[in-house]
Amino acid sequence: MKKIFLFSLGLILFTSLSFSQVFQKITGQPLVNDNGYGSGCAWGDYNNDGKLDIIVTSYNDFGSSTYPLLYKNLGNGNFQIASDNTIMTNSLYQTLACAWGDYNYDGRMDLYIATGMNQPDLLYKNLGGGNFQRITNCVPLVSGHSGGVCWTDYNKDGYLDILSVQHGYNLLYKGLPNGDFAQVTTGPIVTDYGIHRRAAWGDYNNDKYPDLFVANGDFQDDNLYLNNKNGTFTKITSGPVVTSGGYGSGCSWGDYNNDGWLDLFVTNSGPNFLFKNNRNGTFTRINTGAIATDADNSFGCNWGDYDNDGDLDMFVANNEQQVNRLYRNEGNDNFTKITNEPVVNEVSSSVGSSWGDYNNDGKLDLFVVNQGYNAPPQNDFLYRNTGAGPWYLMIKFWGGGIGTRVKLRIGNYIAIREVSGGNSCSSQDMPWVHFGLGFLADNPVNTADSVIVDWMDGTTEILVNVPLNQEIDFYGIVPVQQVSSEVPVKYSLEQNYPNPFNPVTNIKYSVVNTGNVKLTVFDINGKEVDVLVNGVQSPGTYSVQYKTSKLPSGVYLYRLVTDGFTDTKKMILVK
């Protein structure tokens, strides 16, 4: 089920672009006047109003910090601190990492916050209406020092799992159908001991199962775990990804050369690592260019097409009173270090960072968290993108779509993106997928040939002839199961169960003759709100699992229409 909001535009062949200043520093908003000790950040639309909000964690080795800070996006470039929200009133000090994910599959973004100083992590369930509940009996309350958190569905059972990156042994929690979690206690991910600092999931071998990279500190070799597709992992022990040492602080997967395979970037104290995917399960370390030779004290790292030219660029957040870095992708493994942007001309002690289009204009904006250096606090940075080209495609997912991969094709141009469950340094880029398409400006076309969405649960949706310069909302495929092929005696539409429901219910119906079948949901005023089935079906009995998050509580009607039968029943959604 998807809704498409159309705007038109237009093909391929690369064109020269003018690289004037792209970013404007924002100074008059509360999220850049906190004067605190930041750590991580994550863009996410927690109230489902179509605008990105942001969570910022607070950590300080010197012992002074605040509760996490949640900022609500009011639109028109304005933010408001959500001071009365449970996240800010029922929390802990010394929080490091944060990531949004819909773990109970109700279409609302829940929040996991990792903590330091030998404290338990925090899980907040989104109750809707902008409200949260702190969950204390779901994730095992294991005290430790969690530098990172990453959501994924590693076993593709349809339920999000959680990795808490620990100094010592990592914690992996398997999501269960009832909204609880079970701690995984076997396998190399949780039995390898080390100074684990950050991690990121990504399907680097294109088998549709997420693999795991873990960045380690103290000049220990990093870890790479291959998903065996049966709930277990194999530790990779050879190759530059796991033999290069370094003092890892951040990591992000991204296909920077548009060959359809995820590459890897890792930040360090010293030169950072850029690993190019060889498309055979191995990687080559890129050793040339400023992106691989700049010796900074780097923390955050984020792939994003900030100039909308069709390929991924890299932002790096640096600590210890250094300037941050922005590397523009020139193709052929070459990157240019940008020096004329405000994002790279301010001395700071930056940690986490995140790309997100907070004003919905199709251009990537940037938030950078500052920690302060040797005790004095610092304000965070927000940079609005005002200079990128207007060509883009933005894709949003019901419940965030963590782990979902999108493949875009326009002529000979092919690009992939994956929705991150946690990346960079203790942070998470926005859960919306962004494709910059500025290279089309001189040779315009109106549509993309195809958009292929591979959901983490294994289902796939394909759109063709997709208009550009728009946002597309995906709600996933409505599961329709033929429970019996026996020809029924008569047509029927049964009462949904459970009823009342929130957010999932089942609708069963019977078809006597082969023909077109349409199952539609209406509100109490008769306005169509969803089409669950619309196509030819053979005789038999069918069951549809209907899940919705975008609808408010109330009475709804569902109607079955076939060539020889029509019936309507009521159902009640209670949130």
Looking at the chain, the whole-number percentage of residues with pLDDT higher than 70 is: 94
The lowest-confidence range among 53-67, 137-151, 516-530 is: 137-151
pLDDT band, very low/low/confident/very high, at 550 (cuts 50, 70, 90): low
Mean pLDDT across 454-466: 85
State how far the Cα of 70 lies from the Cα of 54, in Å rounded to an integer.
6
Question: CB–CB of 39/424 below 8 Å?
Answer: no
- Decide if pLDDT at 442 tops 70: yes
Strands 392-397, 471-474: pairing is parallel
Strand, coil or helix: 330: strand
CB atoms < 10 A from the CB of 346, how many? 14
pLDDT for 216: 95
State how far the Cα of 493 lies from the Cα of 255, in Å rounded to an integer.
47
pLDDT for 477: 59
Mean pLDDT across 138-145: 70
pLDDT band, very low/low/confident/very high, at 63 (cuts 50, 70, 90): low
- Give me the helices (H) in 234-364, please: 290-293
H-run or E-run covering 88: helix 86-89
- pTM: predicted TM-score of the whole model, two decimal places: 0.84
Mean pLDDT across 523-542: 87
The lowest-confidence range among 9-18, 181-190, 298-307, 361-370 is: 9-18
What's the whole-number average pLDDT of the chain?
A: 90
- At 123, list the tokens: 């899980």
Instruction: Identify the residue whose tokens are 């040492």.
Output: 245
Highest mean pLDDT among 25-34, 54-63, 112-121, 510-519: 25-34
Query: What is the third-level CATH fold of 26-397?
Result: Methylamine Dehydrogenase; Chain H (2.130.10)
Mean pLDDT across 112-138: 89
Strand, coil or helix: 535: strand
Mean pLDDT across 302-306: 98
pLDDT for 396: 93
DSSP string, 27-65: -SSGGG---B-EEEEEEE-TT-SSS-EEEEEE--TTS--
Taking alpha carbons only, the member of 213, 218, 287 closest to residue 248 is 218
The lowest-confidence range among 119-133, 269-283, 337-351, 424-438 is: 119-133
- Decide if pLDDT at 564 tops 90: no
- Structure-model confidence comparison of residues 524 and 516, the more confident one: 524
pLDDT for 510: 96
- Decide if pLDDT at 1 tops 60: no
Q: How far is CA 408 from the centre of its chain?
A: 17
The lowest-confidence range among 73-82, 380-389, 477-486, 520-529 is: 477-486
Taking alpha carbons only, the member of 184, 305, 308, 324 closest to residue 250 is 324
pLDDT band, very low/low/confident/very high, at 170 (cuts 50, 70, 90): very high
State how far the Cα of 253 lies from the Cα of 424, in Å rounded to an integer.
9
> Between the CA atoms of 195, 230, 284 and 250, what dihedral angle is there, to the nearest 10 degrees?
-30
> Between the CA atoms of 499, 504, 505 and 507, what dihedral angle is there, to the nearest 10 degrees?
150
Q: What secondary structure, in 3-state letters, does 560-574 show?
A: EECCCCEEEEEEEEC
- CATH topology agreement for domains 26-397 and 481-573: no
* Phi/psi of residue 277, nearest 5 degrees: -75, 125
- Structure-model confidence comparison of residues 375 and 443, the more confident one: 443
pLDDT band, very low/low/confident/very high, at 74 (cuts 50, 70, 90): very high
Strand partners, 341: none
Strand, coil or helix: 242: helix
The lowest-confidence range among 82-86, 456-460, 527-531 is: 456-460
pLDDT band, very low/low/confident/very high, at 211 (cuts 50, 70, 90): very high
- Decide if pLDDT at 539 tops 60: yes
- Decide if pLDDT at 18 tops 50: no
> Between the CA atoms of 388, 391, 395 and 400, what dihedral angle is there, to the nearest 10 degrees?
0
Q: Is 230 exposed, middle or buried (0-12, 13-18, 19+ CB in 10 A)?
A: exposed
Q: Tens digit of pLDDT for each residue in 318-333?
A: 999 999 999 999 999 9
Mean pLDDT across 155-160: 88
pLDDT band, very low/low/confident/very high, at 474 (cuts 50, 70, 90): confident
pLDDT for 140: 61
- Decide if pLDDT at 84 tops 90: no
Q: Tens digit of pLDDT for each residue in 366-400?
A: 999 999 877 688 999 999 999 998 899 999 987 78
Taking alpha carbons only, the member of 250, 365, 253, 273 closest to residue 319 is 250
pLDDT for 8: 30
Domain ranges of the chain: 26-397, 481-573
Q: Tens digit of pLDDT for each residue in 279-297?
A: 999 999 999 999 999 999 9
Residues 6 or more apart whose CB falls under 8 angstroms from that of 61 comprise none
CATH code: domain 481-573 is 2.60.40.2550
State how far the Cα of 439 lies from the Cα of 227, in Å rounded to an integer.
36
Mean pLDDT across 246-274: 96
pLDDT band, very low/low/confident/very high, at 479 (cuts 50, 70, 90): low
Q: For the sheet containing 283-286, what is the strand order? A: 250-254, 263-267, 273-277, 283-286
Q: Is 208 exposed, middle or buried (0-12, 13-18, 19+ CB in 10 A)?
A: middle
pLDDT band, very low/low/confident/very high, at 361 (cuts 50, 70, 90): very high
Taking alpha carbons only, the member of 458, 476, 572 closest to residue 524 is 572
